[in-house]
Amino acid sequence: MTDTRSDLLDILTASLGAQQVIRDPDAMESYLVEERRLYRGAALAVVRPGSTEEVALVVRECAKAGVAIVPQGGNTGLVGGGVPYDGIVLSLARLDRIREVDAFNATITVEAGCILKAVQDEAEKVDCLFPLSLASEGSCRIGGNIATNAGGVNVLRYGNTRDLVLGLEVVLADGRIWNGLKGLRKDNMGYDLKNLFVGSEGTLGIVTAAVLTLFPRPKSRTVAFIGCASPHATLDLFDRLRRRTGDQLTAFEFMPRFALEIVLKHAAGAVPPLGGWHEAYALIELSSPDPAIDLRERIEAVLSEALEAGIVEDAVIAASEAQGEALWHLRESLSHVQRLEGGSIKHDVAVPVSKVADFIVTATRACEEALPGVRVCAFGHFGDGNIHFNLSQPVAMEKAAFLAQWERFNRIVHDIVHDMNGSISAEHGVGLIKRDELVLYKDPVALDLMRTLKSALDPQNILNPGKVLTLEAELPPAL
């Protein structure tokens, strides 16, 4: 280690205390690998500041020493964005205070290290809902949610994380603190700076706190599982439901037949929801803050019309909270059970909702033609156009031989997405895994603007370098 680097660690240790500058390889281990074990990184140390001022101090000292900083929340990201390959990991975990709950303004001000579930629980105490909800909510942190513009199952009704952020506090690359913690619904005092940092994956600044928006807590909820003849029939059903139920439609998730087959084969406690088999399934949820509203009646009305029109083939409406949970269990088990079917090649993409059925049909056909026997598992947030277009290996094929074709399938699937004016990164972000794909599919002018912003806000390129985009001089070594 050069003198400057070891001096840096000494300065940080003297300022934060030895316990907050972790150098022991065993203690650093969990910060160096990511959730799916696709990447393993290396770092000089893991630094754990306990306040915004301490974050600013760490950034100032790193800037002086020219050392890279990789911010990390819960390290549940799936694109390698939080994996360091040099420099320090800056863990936000100790910034975990709820600073203020303002029930009348319907806002909560939280520090970046708050676990998402803790924010949801805090909102519930004032009879409100913080609607961001992901399967990782017990371990991901708000700063990470903001940095990745996380989505989840409630986007259809409440939007992405971006739509839930009213204000931010950010430590900039030179160590200055930008206090943008305003809980305003209207603020036209110049550029909307907060939206630069949402989804920037730690490359433009370190989020230390946020003002988030709250909603009335739903008091009634109805869940239904519906069998349709095809993805196009499912789209027709979605359109009817949306027109009839407006923003009571909180979730509209899609599963193909193959997905339900493997869930019923592997998932503990999974029970067939309907009598026969159908090509496409929708899991829908309606909710309302009005406890007196009869949501079941509303769903029944739409479903009986859709049955008559031949759009829906069969359906079950949950008769109890427990049955609703059991129906959601079918959808939520899907990521896990796919692993039990061997290797899978994953694409997380979005197309306009009007094209979502076309996309599923076209991409499925193209992949099946490219590799006979490949099992397409295209599921997800149909109602907001976000499909997890995953491929399970052919039964008789070696896993490694299948995974070696990832690049080839990227081209097939991403080209179709691009032709439909879609996005190759709907959730999770770009990180390392999609960085080079971005260059192929992002508008060159937009890429140029992104590089301009990066150079302006982080001229030394010390904030999460090599993630999302590369500047010419700093390609990271392969991990």
* Residue 359 CA: distances (Å) to CA of 232, 256, 355: 10, 13, 6
Q: Which stretch binds ligand FAD (CB under 6 A): 71-79, 306-314, 316-324, 325-333?
A: 71-79
If you ran DSSP here, which 8-state letter would residue 247 be given? G
Q: Least CB distance from residue 200 to ligand FAD, whole Å?
A: 7
Q: How far is 418 from 445, CA to CA, in rounded Å?
A: 16
Q: Which stretch binds ligand FAD (CB under 6 A): 134-142, 226-234, 266-274, 453-461?
A: 134-142
Interface residue with ligand FAD, options 41, 144, 343, 383 (CB under 6 A): 144
Of 140 and 280, which CB lies nearer to ligand FAD in the complex structure?
A: 140
Would you say 229 and 313 are in contact if contact means Cβ atoms under 8 Å apart? yes
Q: Least CB distance from residue 207 to ligand FAD, whole Å?
A: 4
Q: Which sign, positive or negative, has the C-alpha torsion 9, 14, 16, 18?
A: positive
Of 394 and 476, which CB lies nearer to ligand FAD in the complex structure?
A: 476
What sections of 280-333 are H helices per DSSP? 295-308, 321-332
Q: Cα 430–393–345 angle (5° rounding)?
A: 0
Q: Least CB distance from residue 133 to ligand FAD, whole Å?
A: 8
Q: Which residue is nearest to ligand FAD (CB)?
A: 144
* Residue 89 CA: distances (Å) to CA of 325, 440, 444: 38, 29, 31
- Does 313 interact with ligand FAD (rule: CB under 6 A)? no
Q: How far is 348 from 460, CA to CA, in rounded Å?
A: 32
Interface residue with ligand FAD, options 73, 218, 273, 383 (CB under 6 A): 73
Q: Least CB distance from residue 234 to ligand FAD, whole Å?
A: 20
- Does 385 interact with ligand FAD (rule: CB under 6 A)? no
Q: Least CB distance from residue 467 to ligand FAD, whole Å?
A: 6
Report 200-219 residues binding ligand FAD (CB under 6 A): 201-202, 206-207
Q: Least CB distance from residue 111 to ligand FAD, whole Å?
A: 9
Q: How far is 251 from 242, CA to CA, in rounded Å?
A: 10
- Does 76 interact with ligand FAD (rule: CB under 6 A)? yes
Interface residue with ligand FAD, options 35, 163, 261, 437 (CB under 6 A): 35
Binding mask of the shown chain, residues 159 to 198, with x at each position contacting ligand FAD by CB under 6 A: ----------------------------------------
- Does 135 interact with ligand FAD (rule: CB under 6 A)? yes
In this structure, what is the dihedral angle of CA atoms 64, 69, 73, 79, given to the nearest 10 degrees? Answer: 160
Interface residue with ligand FAD, options 213, 222, 464, 470 (CB under 6 A): 464
Phi, psi (deg, nearest 5) at residue 62: -65, -40
Q: How far is 123 from 132, CA to CA, in rounded Å?
A: 11
Q: Least CB distance from residue 54 to ligand FAD, whole Å?
A: 13
- Does 150 interact with ligand FAD (rule: CB under 6 A)? yes
* Other C-beta atoms lying within 10 Å of the C-beta of residue 40: 12
Taking Cα atoms as reference points, which of 187, 241, 188, 249 lies closest to residue 222?
249
Would you say 154 and 163 are in contact if contact means Cβ atoms under 8 Å apart? no
Q: How far is 177 from 53, CA to CA, in rounded Å?
A: 8
Q: Which stretch binds ligand FAD (CB under 6 A): 11-19, 68-76, 265-273, 337-345?
A: 68-76
Q: Which residues bind ligand FAD (CB under 6 A)?
A: 35, 70-78, 81-82, 92, 112, 134-136, 140-141, 143-145, 147-148, 150-152, 201-202, 206-207, 427-428, 431, 464, 467
